């Protein structure tokens, strides 16, 4: 078993240096890093109890990456490789987090960045990031799938480097999350739950788990359980969706680029791909914050809602070790948080009695 869990966090060198043996890099690759990765794996006993499950539940809190989503894992690779090839400009289509990450790593690398976003459907924090990191930010009057189509066409001109997860080195970087889970847990979990949008991440996690297993670092592989939002569930429904809708904007995707990777992960691992309603997502979103003190963006609640349903339907054997990836930080999406919190602060006179009245003292 790996002894790397003992590595003090202050010495963390970023995920490319930590996992270089398993990544397509060499000594000449200019490593562009913000010291991403090494995110906490938090045991969530209270949440497991509230969900009514006799399970060992762990949360891989990817919102603690440098730009506050797991996208940094793929982006450190994509931008390093773009720089190695001598690219000047990186481009991506994004529901928000990819653009935030691309913009940050491009800034770090001294490259130009262009991001294409679906107009009006991007969480406020993500937009703020792209603008602050200095990306040329373009709103497309269409959805993510339209933006990705244009980015692919831009890529064909040969003048720009596409850093969407259609770029295979993104998947390579993202697979390191599975390595970390095994390193932190000392073994692979029985189940891995995560949200599915463009399906790059479920593809990457499965690749990582398989590689550690094939190398003999882990002795088992988890069953992969992916969850889409009910009105953005092309894989579950079996065909692309023209106009996907969901409050979880990070997974509002009608035609996933890594569709085949997702179905492969589910088939090979004896897993499951399911869907949950926006209402179920919002309930789990609030429950996570109130029960564990972990604020994650709405998309992260899709696999939690899915897990709840699986427990209700007796799909999970007692005592199972389950890891759920929390893909992005709750501060990304302040609008949904404030709407869903269900109340606004009382405004009172600056006097002790006024405050005591509100508290009920
Ligand atoms: C990108 C993203 C997803 C979806 O991941 P895919 O690889 O596109 O399936 C889920 N949650 C968050 C927060 C994301 O940023």
Percent of the chain scoring above 70 in pLDDT: 97
**Would the CB of 324 count as within 6 Å of ligand 1?**
no
Q: What is the pLDDT of residue 275?
A: 98
Q: What is the pLDDT of residue 7?
A: 52
User: Could you count the other beta carbons within 10 Å of the beta carbon of residue 170?
Assistant: 29
Going by alpha carbons, the residue nearest to atom 13 of ligand 1 is 328
Per residue, the 3-state secondary structure of 183-222, as one string, reads HHHCCCCCEEEEECCCCHHHHHHHHHHHHHHHCCCCCCCC
Give the chain's residues under pLDDT 70: 1-10
Q: What is the pLDDT of residue 101?
A: 98
Query: How many residues are recorded in the chain?
Result: 361
**Would the CB of 174 count as within 6 Å of ligand 1?**
no
- Give the tokens for residue 184: 């932190």
- Mutation choice for ligand 1 from 64, 68, 70, 296, CB with most ligand atoms inside 8 A: 70
Nearest atom within ligand 1 for CA of residue 196: 9
Q: Are 174 and 73 in contact, with CB atoms under 8 Å apart?
A: yes
Question: What are the φ/ψ torsions at residue 211 (nearest 5 degrees)?
Answer: -65, -45
Q: What is the pLDDT of residue 251?
A: 96
In whole angstroms, how far apart are CA 280 and each of 169, 275, 293, 302?
Answer: 34, 10, 19, 8
- Mutation choice for ligand 1 from 250, 297, 301, CB with most ligand atoms inside 8 A: 250
Residue labelled with tokens 């003992």: 6
Going by alpha carbons, the residue nearest to atom 8 of ligand 1 is 198
d(CA 93, CA 149): 9
Q: What is the pLDDT of residue 249?
A: 94
Nearest atom within ligand 1 for CA of residue 197: 9
d(CA 109, CA 33): 9
Q: What is the pLDDT of residues 167-225, one digit of tens each?
A: 999 999 999 999 999 999 999 999 999 999 999 999 999 999 999 999 999 999 999 99
Residue ranges in 116-175 assigned as alpha helix (H): 124-132, 144-156, 168-174
Q: What is the pLDDT of residue 72?
A: 98
Centroid of ligand 1 to alpha carbon of 232 (angstroms): 13
d(CA 181, CA 28): 29
Nearest atom within ligand 1 for CA of residue 70: 15
**Would the CB of 196 count as within 6 Å of ligand 1?**
yes
Q: What is the pLDDT of residue 40?
A: 98
Q: What is the pLDDT of residue 6?
A: 55
Q: Please state whether 199 falls in left (phi above 0), alpha (psi between -120 and 50) or beta.
A: left
Nearest atom within ligand 1 for CA of residue 262: 9
Centroid of ligand 1 to alpha carbon of 73 (angstroms): 12
Going by alpha carbons, the residue nearest to atom 2 of ligand 1 is 250
Q: What is the pLDDT of residue 5?
A: 55
**Would the CB of 226 count as within 6 Å of ligand 1?**
no
Question: What are the φ/ψ torsions at residue 49 (nearest 5 degrees)?
Answer: -65, -45
Nearest atom within ligand 1 for CA of residue 97: 15
Q: What is the pLDDT of residues 151-173, one digit of tens each?
A: 999 999 988 999 988 899 999 99
Going by alpha carbons, the residue nearest to atom 14 of ligand 1 is 250
d(CA 16, CA 176): 9
Q: What is the pLDDT of residue 163?
A: 93
Q: What is the pLDDT of residue 1?
A: 45
d(CA 196, CA 200): 8
d(CA 24, CA 326): 26
């Amino acid at each position: 078993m790996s002894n790397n869990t003992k590595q003090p966090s202050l010495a963390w060198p970023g995920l490319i240096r930590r996992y270089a043996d398993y990544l397509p890099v060499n000594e000449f690759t200019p490593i562009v890093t913000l010291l991403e990765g090494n995110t906490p794996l938090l045991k969530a006993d209270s949440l497991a109890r509230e969900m009514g499950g006799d399970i060992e539940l762990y949360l891989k809190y990817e919102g603690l990456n440098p730009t506050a989503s797991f996208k940094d894992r793929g982006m450190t690779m994509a931008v390093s490789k773009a720089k190695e090839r001598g690219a000047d400009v990186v481009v991506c289509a994004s529901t928000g987090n990819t653009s935030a990450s691309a913009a940050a790593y491009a800034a770090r690398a001294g490259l130009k960045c262009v991001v294409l976003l679906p107009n009006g459907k991007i969480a406020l924090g993500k937009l703020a990031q792209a603008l602050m990191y200095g990306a040329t930010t373009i709103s497309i009057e269409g959805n993510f799938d339209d933006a990705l189509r244009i980015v692919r066409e831009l890529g064909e001109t040969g003048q720009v480097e596409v850093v969407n997860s259609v770029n295979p080195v993104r998947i390579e970087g993202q697979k390191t999350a599975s390595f970390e889970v095994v390193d932190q847990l000392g073994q692979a979990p029985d189940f891995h739950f995560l949200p599915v949008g463009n399906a790059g991440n479920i593809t990457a996690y499965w690749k990582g788990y398989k590689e550690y297993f094939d190398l003999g670092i882990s002795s088992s592989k988890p069953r992969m359980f992916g969850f889409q939002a009910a009105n953005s569930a092309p894989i579950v429904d079996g065909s692309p969706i023209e106009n996907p809708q969901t409050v979880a904007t990070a997974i509002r995707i009608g035609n996933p680029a890594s569709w085949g990777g997702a179905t492969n992960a589910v088939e090979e691992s004896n897993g499951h791909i399911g869907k949950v309603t926006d209402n179920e997502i919002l309930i789990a979103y609030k429950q996570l914050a109130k029960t564990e003190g972990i604020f994650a963006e709405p998309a992260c609640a899709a696999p939690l809602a899915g897990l709840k349903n699986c427990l209700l339907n007796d799909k999970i054997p007692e005592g199972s070790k389950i890891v759920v990836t929390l893909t992005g930080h709750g501060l990304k999406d302040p609008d949904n948080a404030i709407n869903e919190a269900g109340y606004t602060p009382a405004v009172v006179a600056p006097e002790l009695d006024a405050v005591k009245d509100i508290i009920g003292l």
